[in-house]
Amino acid sequence: MAELNVDLVSTDRKVWSGTAVSVSAPSVDGQIGILANHSPLLAVLRPGTLTVTAASGPAVTAEVTGGFVSVDDNLVTLVVDEITALR
């Protein structure tokens, strides 16, 4: 299965980085599901739950207060304002 390279950062630190099979993020237009080979995307995030299904290991789930997500060439960059309850 194809994978994504994911970088999850907050305004003050890198929170998580690695490979994943999917990302689900709360955009202002609704929940976005991102899989490998997704078309390029730039979206604003709203408060909600962010989930990264890691290629190996447990999924990463967190509450975010906003930010943005960028997708290009299987690279997903999530820049969030505040992040809590990382699990």
For position 56, which CATH number holds?
2.60.15.10
Residue 67 domain boundaries: 4-84
Which residue shows structure tokens 């970088």? 7
Threshold 0.85, pTM exceeds: yes
Tokens at 36, concatenated: 């490998």
pLDDT in tens, 18-70: 999 999 999 999 999 999 999 999 999 999 999 999 999 899 999 999 999 99
Q: How far apart are CA 20 and CA 37, in angstroms?
A: 12
Number of structural domains found in the chain: 1
